[in-house]
Amino acid sequence: MSAAGRRVAVVPCSGIGKSLGTVSREAAYELCDVLRPDATQLVALSKLVLGDAEARERVRANAAVTIDGCKQMCAAKLVKHSGGNLIREVAVFEVFRNHKDLKPEGIAELNPEGKRLARVLAKEIAELLDEIRLDEGGQHA
């Protein structure tokens, strides 16, 4: 989100089969579709894995935020490997550590606590993006 009006690339982990991976994706959807649709753009990790030229260009040309569901931090590693401009790595398990009452369960469909954890995570990232924009002299979205 520079003065040129670029949008932050948001890259959630794929974490298929893991509830924290599902929280990662749900948080990314909430952030990109609801909270900051004009300031963000979703980039699928699978596109980076496949070497998709458009996805790689998005993470190179724009600031990028990754949301990883486990300690392997695959999204962050792949954005860096793709030459991305990674400004923040967010780990779902770190946010969960601060919200133990929101234990996510389920994979295809998160339980209510998991959905709330995803919303909390999305809100925290939105606030982080607002702070970054203010540091750059920008305005809130």
For the whole prediction, is pTM greater than 0.85? yes
For the segment 35-53, what is each residue's pLDDT rounded down to a tens digit?
999 999 999 999 999 999 9
Full DSSP string of the chain: --TT-PPEEEEE---TT-HHHHHHHHHHHIIIIII-TTTEEE--HHHHHTT-HHHHHHHHHSEEEEEESSTT-HHHHHHHHTT-EEEEEEEHHHHHHT-TT-----SSS--HHHHHHHHHHHHHHHHHHHHHHHHTT----
pLDDT of residue 134: 62
Taking the domains of the chain in order of start, what are their residue ranges? 8-135
> What CATH topology corresponds to 8-135?
Rossmann fold (3.40.50)
For the segment 25-36, what is each residue's pLDDT rounded down to a tens digit?
999 999 999 999
